[in-house]
Copies of this chain bind each other. A is one copy, B any other.
Amino acid sequence: MKVTGIIAEYNPFHNGHEYQMKTVRQALNPDFLIVVLSGDHVQRGTPALLDKFSRTQMALCCGADLVLELPVSYSCSSAEYFAEGAVSLLHGLGVVTHLCFGCETPRQELFIKTASLLNQEPPSYRQALKASLKKGLPYPAARAGALTACLHPNQADSEEAALLRSPNNLLGVEYCRVLDKLHSPIKPWPILRVGSGYHEQSFSDPDSYPSASAIRSYLSAHSDLNGLYSQMPRTAARLLQKAVKERRNILEDDYSLLLQTQLLRESLLSLTEYLDLSEELSRRIIRNRNQFQSFSQFCRLLKTKEVTYTRIQRSLLHVLLNLKEIYPVSYARVLGFRKESAELLHRIKKEGSLPLLTKLANAREILSPSGQKLLAQDVFASNFYQAVSSQKSGLPFIHEYQKPIIIQE
């Protein structure tokens, strides 16, 4: 049985995502396609535009067979932890044969070699890295240079270094590093990214694929969705339209009041207990909290040369969601599946090392104490998202335990 895994956020799902699924189907012809999806909060440190069940529905309508949730402490984390959570989840299913990801340099062997080297850190690499850092080079550049120095000492630059210099490849390298560490039988399968860059804010080329970021920009500037219909598969566009009409779409600034009052509760000491909050950043937060206007404005205010905007956004989200610890991935939570995937679920149950969680009510019996803590973080984060959504839309609050998983006919 061939099973391909994809790690995604679908924030929201668009034509580029559909293209990726179709390409995977053509290239690998898998029996099943599993998506590991960020839950209600995504890697850039914000709430997702749409809740995870809406995004799961989009994925299932457009080609996925099974959607699993990436726990919030991994989904709102640096590339390294994001990769660790998602890949170890796929690995633990025991059935995945390929991991497909988008990149700029679709050369499998290059990814594998680079990942393995970064994991091993041979002495020549470590020495070169140390020397470059001493010279004051920033870490990414130092790392790329050290890789060349170690692999091709007589060259000025190497393909591996070039790989590391493209941000679109970096996540793929992290995925491969986790596969390497786990000695996983899963084969990495890089495919060329098409369409606009990750941060592209407009639909520049009508024949090209959009970026999720451009779609979110469009939504914040337009009251109608007409300009989006050409950018998204029909079902995804309809789901988005319904959510927007019901005012269920959430942006980081819907969290502004919550963040401001939460920060008033904190002290320098209590802030440093959250994930990713250094003492330096905590100090800046305390020093600047009287200038708070909104979530996004406050992130811009805290931004320095040393710390990325995204890192700050994630840190603040950790404060809101009370994230203080990362527990190991110890279950696979099902958000939805196609009805015809019964065999896949059956095989995972038989061959996987992680229990499949389909009903939260069973969690206590199935999960270890640390697994229960991991799940509790997700339940709180999703209830938090749901509370904001229900206050904004006026629709009833539905507790995470009451939400059925999506079963697509």
A residues whose Cβ falls under 8 Å from a Cβ of B: 256-258, 260-261, 264-265, 290-293, 322, 380, 383-384, 387-388, 390-391, 396-399, 402
Contact = CB atoms under 8 A, between A and B. Distances in A.
A291 to B, nearest CB: 8
A391 B255 CA distance: 11
Given A256-B391, A391-B256, A261 B399 contact: no
Query: Which 10 residue pairs across A and B have the least CB separation, nearest first?
Result: A257-B391, A260-B387, A290-B399, A264-B383, A261-B387, A261-B384, A258-B261, A292-B397, A290-B397, A256-B391
Contacts of A383: 264
A380 B390 CA distance: 27
A257 B258 contact: yes
Contacts of A388: 257, 261
Contacts of A256: 391
A257 B260 contact: no
A322 B265 contact: yes
Contacts of A261: 258, 384, 387-388
Nearest to A380: B264
Nearest to A253: B391
Contacts of A322: 265
Nearest to A265: B322
A387 B293 CA distance: 9
7 contacts: A256-B391, A257-B258, A260-B391, A261-B384, A261-B387, A264-B384, A290-B399
A383 to B, nearest CB: 5
B257 A387 contact: yes
Nearest to A264: B383
Q: Which of A261, A290, A291, A293 has the most CB of B within 10 A?
A: A261
A217 B398 CA distance: 31
A388 B291 CA distance: 14
Contacts of A398: 290
A383 B260 CA distance: 10
Contacts of A265: 322, 380
Q: Which of A265, A290, A387 has the most CB of B within 10 A?
A: A387
Contacts of A380: 264-265
Contacts of A260: 387, 390-391, 397
Contacts of A258: 257-258, 261
Q: Which of A260, A390, A402 has the most CB of B within 10 A?
A: A260
B402 A290 contact: yes
A364 to B, nearest CB: 15
Nearest to A379: B264
A260 B392 CA distance: 13
B402 A264 contact: no
A293 B391 CA distance: 7
Contacts of A292: 387, 397
Nearest to A391: B257
B264 A387 contact: yes
Nearest to A257: B391
A206 B384 CA distance: 48
Contacts of A293: 390, 396-397
A258 B256 CA distance: 11
A372 to B, nearest CB: 14
